[in-house]
């Protein structure tokens, strides 16, 4: 059984929000690329929404990280070593925070270019250049790293719960994809009619992401159990959180239970999607809130008992 | 190159007077936290940014009224401090490289480099590092780096009246510790053991201890639990990579499947 005598780093609201929004920024960028690569031309509208959101979210992520520092004006010390006699770049691949700082910077660059691309496009122009597709694919690799490394930051510590499980990185990326799919499905509601089909596709994808998230939660619990630390997650305040998290899966699991497929019918020349999911937008919001609670429970349960 | 220095803390002769705490606060100008009134005369509670030394009072006095002489095990006292690990967890994770090894092989936090991210606090297995709210950076025992540079003994060792805290060249301290352990064991103190003398704990400790019981009794991780944070790097990233790969595959299936149907029905 693992024994811990460590102090908590007091990572609280800013870090929780950063982990949450970094997941949505990275997940949205990845899903937008997937829609461009494998979706129909109609999905381009939602892909643009995702690219439009990814960059502002990355900026907010940087602000949240900076606010959380004890010395916010020294945020650049993450990248530049100011040790007298050792001035140069700070790059420690074995330190997830160091790697993540560079990843956030790099992702911001990818997101910024994609943001400019969609902002300068004309409304009905659905053509995407080959160069931009390559850019999106490379950006998605960084985006997935951004969505997942936050979990590895927690695992690479000596805190109880965090260091007792190596599944948190996987759990965070699965939940980030789920929240992003729900976020884009929700946002696509405010687009033109042909975004309705995309919304349904994203809801179907979200169902599978939630299943993946469920598997990673089981892996998280099993690793904690092996370390004799599962009791920390099942203590009363956190148990309520887990109940809410599992409850947030219900809309997505209903999609899967309904066959996980969306039925389409042609009507008046336009394609309309028959939503298997409740289709009110509430489902998407529940999924997103559930992912926020997940970040909250994992971060706080290790620090406060 | 200066010789590697260390602290040898012999807990068997600690009397809990806290002169080390006071001397440390005086020299390092630490105002301290508001006093706590805890068990066994402990009024500092733990190591943090205001307490670089902390005398632990471990109450093992049995509840039974028939108390016998405890061979030093009934009420254990230990002057705790940063261990100045050879392989330091805090230094491993620090993204700003604010935590460095000095020329004396001690672990030192550069206050002008640290930006207060507090990752080191989550990594230190001994709960040594604290966040200084006023300064906005983390801090801990400096091994009196300024005194070392002036060829002076660190304040805590200088003040210790029983020589429970001994300062010197690490190799000399190892010999003293071995001799003291042998003497105690010859007197029948079977549980006496050295902690951090060899490399079984974080590659060896610059501040090592003679304990009168198991490390866990003193809230110290034993060799089995003394692990570096980086142990989870490969497994953590691999888990994330595999999950991301499955996620992309699931997204591909969901998007392609429904996209095909959409195009067919259109």
Of A70, A71, A28, A60, give the one whose Cα is nearest residue A182. Answer: A28
- Asked if residue A3 is part of any domain, the answer here is no
Specify the pLDDT at position A193. Answer: 58
Q: What is the mean pLDDT of residues B245-255?
A: 94
Cα–Cα dist B141/B102, whole Å:
13
Structure tokens at B222: 């034993």
End-to-end alpha-carbon separation of chain A, Å? 18
Chain-centre distance of CA B259, in angstroms? 57
| CB neighbourhood size of B173 (10 A) | 22
ipTM of the complex: 0.92
Is a pLDDT exceeding 50 seen at residue B212? Answer: yes
Is a pLDDT exceeding 70 seen at residue A269? Answer: no
Cα–Cα dist B174/B205, whole Å:
11
Backbone angles phi, psi at A163, to 5 degrees: -80, -10
Chain-centre distance of CA B147, in angstroms? 21
Specify the pLDDT at position A48. Answer: 93
Chain segment A231-243, per-residue pLDDT in tens: 999 998 999 999 9
Of A259, A276, A173, give the one whose Cα is nearest residue A215. Answer: A173
Cα–Cα dist A105/A102, whole Å:
5
Confidence tier at A210 by pLDDT (50, 70, 90):
very high
Is a pLDDT exceeding 50 seen at residue A271? Answer: no
Specify the pLDDT at position B69. Answer: 61
Is a pLDDT exceeding 50 seen at residue A265? Answer: no
Of A30, A56, A141, A153, give the one whose Cα is nearest residue A101. Answer: A153
- Asked if residue A256 is part of any domain, the answer here is yes
Confidence tier at A85 by pLDDT (50, 70, 90):
very high
Is a pLDDT exceeding 80 seen at residue B39? Answer: no
Let me know the angle formed at the C-alpha of A5 by A3 and A9, rounded to the nearest 5 degrees.
120
Is a pLDDT exceeding 90 seen at residue A121? Answer: no
Specify the pLDDT at position B68. Answer: 64
Confidence tier at B190 by pLDDT (50, 70, 90):
very high
Cα–Cα dist B101/B230, whole Å:
18
Is a pLDDT exceeding 70 seen at residue A18? Answer: yes
Domain count, chain A: 1
User: CATH no. for residue A48?
Assistant: 1.20.1630.10
Structure tokens at B49: 């940014």
What's the predicted TM-score (pTM) here?
Answer: 0.92
In chain B, which ranges are E strands?
A: 5-10, 54-59, 75-80, 99-101, 107-109, 130-132, 137-139, 165-169, 193-195, 207-211
Backbone angles phi, psi at A172, to 5 degrees: -70, -40
A131: Cβ contacts below 8 Å, ≥ 6 apart: none
In A28-136, which ranges are E strands?
A: 80-81, 88-89
B124: Cβ contacts below 8 Å, ≥ 6 apart: A6, A7, A158, B89, B90
For residues A78-87, b (16+ Cβ closer than 10 Å) or e, as one string?
beebbbeeee
- Asked if residue A8 is part of any domain, the answer here is no
Cα–Cα dist B99/B23, whole Å:
24
Cα–Cα dist B11/B8, whole Å:
9
Cα–Cα dist A259/A180, whole Å:
21
User: CA torsion B232→B235→B238→B240, rounded to 10°?
Assistant: -60
Confidence tier at A270 by pLDDT (50, 70, 90):
very low
Specify the pLDDT at position B205. Answer: 98
Which burial class, exposed, middle or buried, applies to B17 when counting CB atoms under 10 A from its CB (0-12, 13-18, 19+)? middle
Q: How high is the mean pLDDT of chain A? A: 90
Specify the pLDDT at position B65. Answer: 61
Chain-centre distance of CA A50, in angstroms? 12
* Max CA pair span of chain A: 73
Specify the pLDDT at position B63. Answer: 66
Of A247-256, A265-274, B240-249, the least confident: A265-274
Per residue, what are the HEC states of A145-166?
HHHHHHHHHHHCCCCCCCCCCC
Q: What is the mean pLDDT of residues B120-137?
A: 97
Cα–Cα dist B144/B23, whole Å:
11
* Contact predicate B143/B152, CB 8 Å: no
Q: Does A144 touch chain B (CB under 8 A)?
A: yes
- Asked if residue A7 is part of any domain, the answer here is no
Which burial class, exposed, middle or buried, applies to B122 when counting CB atoms under 10 A from its CB (0-12, 13-18, 19+)? buried
Specify the pLDDT at position B224. Answer: 94
Chain segment B25-38, per-residue pLDDT in tens: 999 999 988 888 87
Confidence tier at B118 by pLDDT (50, 70, 90):
very high
Cα–Cα dist A12/B198, whole Å:
38
Is a pLDDT exceeding 80 seen at residue B107? Answer: yes
Within 119-138 of A, beta carbons closer than 8 Å to B belong to none
Is a pLDDT exceeding 50 seen at residue A166? Answer: yes
Q: Does B134 touch chain A (CB under 8 A)?
A: no
Q: Does A86 touch chain B (CB under 8 A)?
A: yes
Could you tell me which chain B residue has the CA closest to the CA of A270? B266
A191: Cβ contacts below 8 Å, ≥ 6 apart: A45, A46, A49
Give the three-state DSSP class for B18.
coil
* Contact predicate B118/A9, CB 8 Å: yes
What residues does A81 pair with on adjacent strands? Answer: A88
- Asked if residue A122 is part of any domain, the answer here is yes
Chain segment B41-81, per-residue pLDDT in tens: 888 999 999 999 999 999 877 666 666 665 555 789 999 99
Cα–Cα dist A236/B167, whole Å:
47
Specify the pLDDT at position B71. Answer: 55
Q: Which residues of A touch B122 (CB under 8 A)?
A: 6, 8-9, 11, 154, 157-159, 162
Q: Does B240 touch chain A (CB under 8 A)?
A: yes
Q: Which residues of B touch A34 (CB under 8 A)?
A: 248, 251-252, 255
- Asked if residue A1 is part of any domain, the answer here is no
Number of residues that this document lists for chain A: 305
Specify the pLDDT at position B262. Answer: 55
Confidence tier at B3 by pLDDT (50, 70, 90):
confident
Could you tell me which chain A residue has the CA closest to the CA of B117? A69
Cα–Cα dist B7/B107, whole Å:
13
The answer to whether the CB atoms of B236 and A171 lie below 8 A apart is no
Q: Which residues of B touch A75 (CB under 8 A)?
A: 115
Cα–Cα dist A143/A146, whole Å:
5
- Asked if residue A160 is part of any domain, the answer here is yes
Is a pLDDT exceeding 80 seen at residue B264? Answer: no
- Asked if residue A144 is part of any domain, the answer here is yes
Specify the pLDDT at position A128. Answer: 85
Q: Does A216 touch chain B (CB under 8 A)?
A: yes
Q: What is the DSSP letter of B48?
A: B
Q: What is the mean pLDDT of residues B184-210?
A: 96
Backbone angles phi, psi at A179, to 5 degrees: -65, -35
Considering CB atoms only, which of B95, B257, B261 is closest to A101? B95
Confidence tier at B266 by pLDDT (50, 70, 90):
very low
Confidence tier at A275 by pLDDT (50, 70, 90):
very low
**Residue whose structure tokens are 């460590």:** A6
Backbone angles phi, psi at B56, to 5 degrees: -85, 140
Its domain, for residue A268, covers 13-301
What residues does B77 pair with on adjacent strands? Answer: B57
């Amino acid at each position: 059984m693992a024994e811990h005598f460590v102090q908590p780093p007091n990572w609280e609201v800013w870090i929780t929000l950063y982990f949450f929004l970094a997941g949505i920024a990275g997940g949205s960028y990845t899903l937008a690329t997937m829609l461009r690569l494998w979706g129909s031309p109609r999905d381009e509208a939602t892909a643009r929404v995702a690219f439009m959101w990814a960059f502002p979210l990355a900026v907010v992520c940087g602000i949240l990280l900076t606010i959380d520092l004890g010395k916010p004006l020294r945020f650049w010390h993450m990248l530049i070593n100011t040790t007298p006699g050792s001035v140069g770049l700070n790059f420690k691949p074995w330190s997830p925070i160091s790697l993540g700082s560079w990843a956030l910077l790099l992702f911001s660059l990818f997101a910024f270019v994609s943001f400019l691309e969609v902002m300068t496009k004309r409304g009905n122009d659905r053509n995407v250049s080959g160069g931009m597709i390559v850019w999106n694919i490379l950006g998605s690799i960084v985006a997935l790293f951004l969505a997942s490394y936050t979990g590895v930051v927690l695992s690479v510590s000596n805190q109880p719960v965090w260091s007792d499980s190596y599944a948190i990185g996987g759990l965070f990326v699965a939940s980030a994809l789920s929240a992003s799919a729900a976020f884009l499905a929700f946002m696509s509601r405010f687009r033109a009619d042909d975004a309705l089909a995309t919304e349904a596709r994203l809801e179907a994808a979200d169902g599978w992401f939630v299943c993946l998230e469920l598997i990673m939660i089981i892996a998280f619990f099993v690793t904690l159990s092996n370390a004799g630390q599962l009791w920390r997650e099942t203590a009363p305040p956190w148990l309520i959180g887990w109940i809410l998290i599992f409850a947030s899966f219900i809309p997505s699991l209903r999609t899967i239970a309904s066959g996980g497929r969306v039925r389409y019918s042609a009507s008046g020349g336009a394609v309309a999607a028959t939503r298997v999911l409740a289709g009110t937008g509430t489902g998407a919001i529940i999924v997103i809130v559930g992912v926020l609670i997940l970040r909250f429970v994992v971060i706080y349960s290790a620090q406060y008992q | 190159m200066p010789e590697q220095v260390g602290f040898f803390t012999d807990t068997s002769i600690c009397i809990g007077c806290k002169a080390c705490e006071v001397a440390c606060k005086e020299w390092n100008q630490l105002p301290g936290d508001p006093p706590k009134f805890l068990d066994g005369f402990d009024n500092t509670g733990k190591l943090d940014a205001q307490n670089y030394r902390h005398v632990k009072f471990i109450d093992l006095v049995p509840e039974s009224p028939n108390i016998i002489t405890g061979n030093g095990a009934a009420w254990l006292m230990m002057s705790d401090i940063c261990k100045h690990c050879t392989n330091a967890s805090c230094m491993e994770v620090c993204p700003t490289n604010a935590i460095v090894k000095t020329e004396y092989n001690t672990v030192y936090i550069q206050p002008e480099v640290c930006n207060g991210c507090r990752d080191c606090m989550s990594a230190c297995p001994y709960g040594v590092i604290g966040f200084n709210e006023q300064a906005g950076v983390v801090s801990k025992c400096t091994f009196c780096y300024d005194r070392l540079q002036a060829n002076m003994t660190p304040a805590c060792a200088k003040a210790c009246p029983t020589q429970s805290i001994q300062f010197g060249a690490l190799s000399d301290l190892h010999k003293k510790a071995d001799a003291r352990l042998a003497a105690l064991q010859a007197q029948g103190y079977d549980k006496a053991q050295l902690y951090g003398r060899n490399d079984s704990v974080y590659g060896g400790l610059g501040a090592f201890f003679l304990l009168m019981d198991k490390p866990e009794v003193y809230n110290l991780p034993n060799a089995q639990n003394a692990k570096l944070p980086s142990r989870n790097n490969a497994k953590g990233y691999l888990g994330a990579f595999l999950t991301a790969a499955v996620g992309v595959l699931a997204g591909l299936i969901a998007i392609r499947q429904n996209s095909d149907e959409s195009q067919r029905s259109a």
